[in-house]
Structure 1
Amino acid sequence: MIAKGSEPWLFSAASVTALLAILSRATDSVPFLNYIANMGMALTFVMVIFFRDPERKVEPSDAYMISPADGTVIDIRDRKICIFMFLQNVHVNRAPISGEIKEIIYKKGGYLPAYCKDSERNERNEFIIHSKYGDVRVTQIAGTIARRIVTYSNVNDIVEQGQRIGMIRFGSRVDVTIPHNFDITVEKGERVLAGKTIIATIKNDREI
């Protein structure tokens, strides 16, 4: 399955590659076109891999929160888990908890490497999901290559845990806040999968 919103990119790459392939066959005097056409085919294949959006069976539960992104946990601070998405990761983001999208805040900014602390100044899109345990913030942060954040959801939408809410093109970072009702169960350096990896579990009644 291909990620929603990626069709124009794939169509453009495939169209240019097809045109170059036709020209390379028709114009023997320009052999380098064949090389460029092969490079175009390779790029199109890489983009198909990048824009993949595999189906993942998610059974919503109030007992835990799940990762909103594929990638590696690069930091955990102030009840916030920061997940860096490498180019090879799936870049579709999912709701870590069920609830209502109370607010979506988009901010323009720069394009520093998303793993840097200074990336707080980067372009970003923040979802505020009102759950039964309080507000959960899911922040999509653009990086040096990614310059386009795509949103699948709207304010007042009711989202189920694991539902697709958006994507960031070509690598970046997703931060998620964890309510005090939960214990964080992942560690820095751990690899996570959107909709699959449990990142926090609910505290028992005596701890809340």
Structure 2
Amino acid sequence: MSLTDTIRNTLVPIHREGYSFIAGFGVATLILGLLWGPLFWIGLILTAWCTYFFRDPPRVTPVDDRLVVAPADGIVSSVGPTVPPRELGLSETEMIRISVFMNVFSCHINRAPVRGRISLIEHRPGQFLNADLDKASTENERNSLVIEGAHGPVAVVQIAGLVARRIVCWAEAPGEIAVGERFGLIRFGSRVDVYLPPEARPRVAVGQVSVGGETIIAEFGSEAAPPLVRVS
């Protein structure tokens, strides 16, 4: 492997949304260092963390309308039938919800779980409860996208958490979006819910690590039962 390839594989791209935050952390670090030397090193560590938080690594996304990919990096925190929030304008009956919880060390770039036409984008103000709580789906500040996919409407909801105070969405409605395409991010800890038609078969379990844009979280057109899992 050449030196250029090594550098490219080591240095992960940083999303432009993070530039101002990284610069702010850097300036604060210099000021703290002038006040007291040890504070410089603390600030340097925090600046490094901020840079790491806004990383935007490339992903290899499976392109198949039968597959649903993870919308974010993190831990799968819930899988099962749930009635979607009313603002989505979807069925009042239960859909399959798969939730991915992101902590402050996760990559927070959000990606489309399926391809299709964005028919709705809806932002709702709310509380900043722990995003890992089930009631965060309806009580926390959130931003929702409804994508008209090949197998019916799929909703993806960005949910703010205890630390998160800013949901960013770059998508527009109406508009087309590709599976795995970046559509937004949530700053500093949060959750993303995906609501799927009842015909979808989950392919992940609670506690599993997901990689946004790569991990297959559900599948359409399969009679296979959801996978059994073992913790070892």
Q: What TM-score do you get using the length of structure 2 for normalisation?
A: 0.80
CA contact (8 A) 1:5 1:150 kept: no
Instruction: Using the aligned pairs only, state the percent identity.
Output: 36
CA contact (8 A) 2:68 2:113 kept: yes
The match for 1:2 among 4, 10, 14 is: 14
Match of 2:70?
67
Q: How does 1:1-208 map to 2 (within 5 A)?
A: 1-21=13-33, 23=34, 33-78=36-81, 79-119=96-136, 120-204=138-222
Alignment RMSD: 1.5
Number of residue equivalences: 196
Kindly state the Cα deviation for residue 76 of structure 1 after the two structures are TM-superposed: 1.3
CA contact (8 A) 1:129 1:137 kept: yes
Question: Greater shift after overlay, 195-204 or 143-152?
Answer: 195-204
Letter in 1 for 2:80: R
- Structure 1 unaligned regions, length at least 5: 25-32
Letter in 2 for 1:105: E
Kindly state the Cα deviation for residue 3 of structure 1 after the two structures are TM-superposed: 2.2
Q: Which runs of 4+ in 1 moved over 4 A?
A: none
Aligned-partner Cα distance in 2 for 1:97–1:128 = 11
Question: Greater shift after overlay, 49-58 or 11-20?
Answer: 11-20
Aligned-partner Cα distance in 1 for 2:121–2:60 = 26
Aligned-partner Cα distance in 2 for 1:139–1:180 = 18
- Structure 2 unaligned regions, length at least 5: 1-12, 82-95, 224-232
- CA distance 1:65–1:146, shift in 2 (3 Å): same
SS in structure 2 of the partner of residue 6 of structure 1: helix
Question: Greater shift after overlay, 173-182 or 75-84?
Answer: 173-182
Aligned-partner Cα distance in 1 for 2:42–2:170 = 32
CA contact (8 A) 1:178 1:184 kept: no
SS in structure 1 of the partner of residue 21 of structure 2: helix
What whole-Å deviation, never above 9, does each CA across 1:151-195 have from its counterpart, x for those lacking one? 121112211100001011111110001223421111111111101
Letter in 1 for 2:169: T
Kindly state the Cα deviation for residue 204 of structure 1 after the two structures are TM-superposed: 4.7
Match of 2:9?
none
Q: What TM-score do you get using the length of structure 1 for normalisation?
A: 0.89
Aligned-partner Cα distance in 1 for 2:66–2:80 = 22
Letter in 2 for 1:127: L
Aligned-partner Cα distance in 2 for 1:166–1:103 = 15
CA contact (8 A) 2:115 2:178 kept: yes
- Report which of the two structures shows the higher radius of gyration computed on alpha carbons: 1
Aligned-partner Cα distance in 2 for 1:172–1:118 = 13
